[in-house]
């Protein structure tokens, strides 16, 4: 899982178009439920205050992008679900995504040549305002930076959950987000963290991240805090079952247009449980007065310096295969939803479009 190599500085300077010329890009569009395709578009000459970014890697947010590909974004949430640089409207055609890492090839002198993160859809080259990209920390490689949006969500989740020192924390759902939540929580003084998932192979990566592991039926009950990320109603039922008296269950999964049935009888009221939502579109209330979205994203990027997090990027594929990759991850190809995949990285060929 190595990054594609960039051309030499001399070759790049002669091959790249100037800021004053139009360039051709290719982008991934969802064109119908279960189907995506790559389309060409022409970018105008670069405007003042903009940067042109040549993409190195993008990441697939498989939960949200799976809902988009399957056409499961509720009409009531279409406005709130818009990605920062989305084109088109739900359900389709729509250009969607928000995990892009690339090199600034044109723009202000202080950014030109730097590797940056941007909340942009899957596209080979794009132009945005210079204030919408964030340079990567020097100790965070471009190939790992595709975890930034997941990490930002995990940070916001722990802000919302506000765990205390020494608490017993259960994380139900061992996907990329759940593993990052467990990794962060395991660094809190005195806390014990158990990851609960139906895939036994998640035990090894959980251990590498400092967390314990259990299958749902063997999970330790009486957790002071339970964080649910599995995206399935059965996982949320497990989360409720594991929560101790007056504990909080924080829900990070988003179900789109799917209805979810929950066991809110049984001990839910007797245990005085709190079921609380968390959503990365808003900075957690306790931090909102001081933290902007940009500051929070910068924090998320800085937290990606640990090489152990490379274990969460389990699959990579070239950009040309992205439509097929999206169909596989969303289960739209009839082969299931690829449970062995954690973070899916998309790699781009260097240099201008041909």
| 80: number of Cβ within 10 Å | 10
What are the extents of the domains in the chain? 9-146+309-347, 163-277
How large a percentage of the chain has pLDDT more than 70? 92
Residue 85: DSSP 8-state: T
**Which pLDDT score, from 0 to 100, does residue 266 have?**
80
Reduce the secondary structure of 142-192 to three states and give it as a string.
CCCHHHHHHHHHHHHHHHHHCCCCCCEEEEECCCHHHHHHHHHHCCCCCCE
Q: What is the pLDDT of residues 199-230, one digit of tens each?
A: 999 999 999 999 999 999 999 999 999 999 99
Q: Rounded CA gap, 145 and 58, in Å?
A: 9
Residue 218 to residue 232: CA distance in whole angstroms:
18
Mean of pLDDT values over 294-301: 98
pLDDT at 331: 84
Stretch 166-181: mean pLDDT: 97
Assign a CATH topology to domain 163-277: Rossmann fold (3.40.50)
Residue 334 binned pLDDT confidence (cut-offs 50, 70, 90)? low
Element at 70 (helix H, strand E): helix 62-70
Task: Grade residue 6 by pLDDT with cuts at 50, 70 and 90.
Answer: very low
Residue with tokens 């990285």: 345
Inform me whether the pLDDT recorded for 194 exceeds 90.
Answer: yes
Mean per-residue pLDDT, 240-248: 97
Q: Which pLDDT score, from 0 to 100, does residue 8 have?
A: 39
Q: Which fold has domain 9-146+309-347?
A: Quinone Oxidoreductase; Chain A, domain 1 (3.90.180)
- For 313-320, what is the mean pLDDT? 97
Q: Which are the contacts of 128, defined by CB distance < 8 A and separation ≥ 6? A: 50, 51, 53, 85, 118, 120
| Segment 121-140 mean pLDDT | 98
Of residues 127 and 13, more confidently modeled? 127
pLDDT over threshold 60, residue 2 = no
The pTM assigned to this predicted structure is 0.90
Q: Quick one: pLDDT at residue 5?
A: 41
């Amino acid at each position: 899982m190595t990054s594609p190599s960039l051309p030499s500085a001399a070759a790049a300077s002669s091959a790249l178009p100037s800021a004053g010329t139009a360039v051709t890009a290719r982008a991934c569009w969802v064109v119908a439920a279960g189907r995506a395709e790559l389309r060409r578009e022409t970018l105008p000459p670069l405007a003042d205050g903009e940067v042109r970014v040549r993409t190195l890697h993008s990441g697939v947010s498989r939960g949200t992008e799976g809902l988009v590909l399957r056409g499961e974004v509720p009409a009531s949430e279409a406005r709130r679900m818009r990605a920062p640089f989305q084109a088109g409207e739900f359900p389709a055609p729509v250009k969607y995504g928000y995990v892009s890492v690339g090199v600034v090839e044109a723009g202000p002198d202080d950014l030109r040549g730097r590797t940056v993160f941007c909340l942009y859809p899957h596209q080979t080259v794009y132009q945005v305002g210079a204030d919408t990209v964030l340079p990567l920390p020097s100790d965070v490689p471009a190939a790992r930076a595709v975890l930034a949006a997941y990490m930002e969500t995990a940070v916001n989740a722990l802000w919302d959950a506000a765990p205390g020192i020494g608490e017993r924390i259960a994380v139900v759902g061992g996907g990329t987000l759940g593993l990052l939540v467990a990794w962060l929580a395991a660094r809190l003084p005195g806390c014990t963290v158990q990851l609960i998932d139906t895939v036994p192979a998640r035990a090894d990566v959980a251990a590498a991240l400092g967390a314990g592991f259990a299958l749902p039926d063997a999970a330790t009950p009486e957790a002071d805090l339970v964080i649910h990320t599995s995206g399935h109603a059965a996982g949320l039922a497990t989360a409720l079952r594991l929560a101790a008296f007056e504990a909080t269950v924080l829900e990070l999964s988003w179900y789109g247009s799917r209805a979810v049935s929950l066991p809110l009888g049984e001990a839910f009221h007797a245990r005085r449980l709190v079921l609380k939502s968390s959503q990365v579109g808003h900075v957690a209330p306790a931090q909102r007065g001081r933290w902007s979205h940009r500051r929070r994203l910068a924090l998320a990027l800085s937290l990606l310096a640990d090489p152990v997090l490379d274990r969460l990027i389990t699959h990579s594929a070239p950009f040309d295969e992205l439509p097929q990759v999206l169909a596989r991850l969303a289960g739209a190809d009839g082969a299931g939803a690829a449970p062995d995949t954690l973070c899916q990285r998309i790699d781009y060929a260097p240099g201008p479009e041909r």
